[in-house]
Amino acid sequence: MIATRCRSCDASGLQLILSLGRTPLANALLTQAQLAQPEPTFPLDLVFCPQCALVQITETVPPEQLFGHYLYLSSFSETMLKHSEELARRMVIDCALDGQSLVVEVASNDGYLLQYYKRAGVPVLGIEPATNIAEVAERRGIPTLTRFFGLELARELRGQGRRADIIHANNVLAHVADLNGFVAGIALLLKEGGRAVFEVPHVEPMIERLEFDTIYHEHLCYYSLTALMPLFERHGLIVVDVEEIPLHGGSLQVYVSDSGEASPRVLDLLGREQAAGVDGFEFYSEFADRVRRLKDDLVERLRALRDSGSRIAGYGASAKGSTLLNYCGIGREMLDFVADRSTVKQGLYTPGTHLLIKPPEALLEERPDHVLLLTWNFAAEILRQQAEYLRQGGHFIIPVPEPSIV
């Protein structure tokens, strides 16, 4: 379904920033038997709302098709675990959480975050629509509802007397088609004086650093604080604090409550976004041309390496990797395989480009000369893990914001 009105404020007149053409679903990995079957593709067009400054895509794929069976487990990332443990530790102290409190995470994945609250003796509840991943969380002892979150579920939980001191929504607000229903549900489920913590990719560094591979069908929206403020205010929530964090190429950690005042960090970031111009189309107007130039440069470099006899693999069977490979037309004629730590992805094939996913040990066993780092947002972690491959003379290619070789 193609949206012609803003997902947040319902305004018309959306302006096209970038078209990535028709692409397969970024996390729809394939079995060998599926390689010969037709692969569904969907338009991937990025637009700007001149009314509320929300950047969004126009296509809405049914969430059941995207998230009913999911293959991304947060616990495979050491960076994510470390960040989550520190965040939980800080929230327990700052909010004086104890055995009478309740922490809820929406899109709780495999319990990667809630496990740290549980260890601190704080009751938790996960809400995760992917059955296979909810089962992993349950095996860890994290009580998990296998549901999509929205106003209806919030009413059910509140009717049961379950309200949250803390609600986490990490990298899920970008996935929500009914933004207003979702945020209204958060407001209903939150205790008076409670706090909701949202993590969202920040659109300003995405545009400035050419992080176009952050765009895929799961990510319906790309947020600035400027666009988030009216969305929360519409449902009686106030942004009381914000942090800029390096995750996923640059994200915002936004703290909202039903009461309080905006911190100096909120006012500072709003001022900087206004100065950068994120609330006007001009800020986005050259993005498409810059992305096309990056594509041409990357493909030219890979082709030159291949022509010189270099064997090239990829690392990271990620959603962002799928966008990059499909938009740039990089497939089996360029890459031999893709390595990934996630055991649930190994043995499957990448969508659209049909590259076999192997364990990271394949880098030492098959010794490709160069590896295209598709999960460049975890570059430091991956380069550390692959120190032996580098020591033996291997090279990583970092594609964004411009191709470079490590």
Taking the C-alpha atoms of residue 239 and residue 393, their distance in angstroms, rounded to an integer, is: 49
pLDDT classification of 220: cutoffs 50, 70, 90: very high
Residue 298: how many other CB atoms lie within 10 Å: 19
Percent of the chain at pLDDT above 90? Answer: 89
67-284, CATH topology level: Rossmann fold (3.40.50)
SS3 156: helix
Of residues 62 and 199, which shows the higher confidence score?
199
Instruction: Pick the closest to residue 183 from 199, 193, 166, 196 (CA basis).
Output: 196
186-202 confidence digits (pLDDT tens): 999 999 999 999 999 99
Is there a common fold for 67-284 and 287-405?
yes
Measured distance CA(339)–CA(25) in Å, rounded: 19
Name the pTM for this structure: 0.90
Q: Residue 70: pLDDT band by 50, 70, 90 thresholds?
A: low
pLDDT in tens, 145-163: 999 999 999 999 999 999 9
> In the chain, where are the structural domains located?
67-284, 287-405
**287-405: what fold?**
Rossmann fold (3.40.50)
Q: Classify residue 325 by burial, with Cβ atoms within 10 Å: 0-12, 13-18, 19+.
A: buried
Helix or strand run (H / E) with residue 168: strand 164-170
| Average confidence (pLDDT) over 89-112 | 96
Question: What pLDDT, on a 0 to 100 scale, did the predictor assign at position 72?
Answer: 56
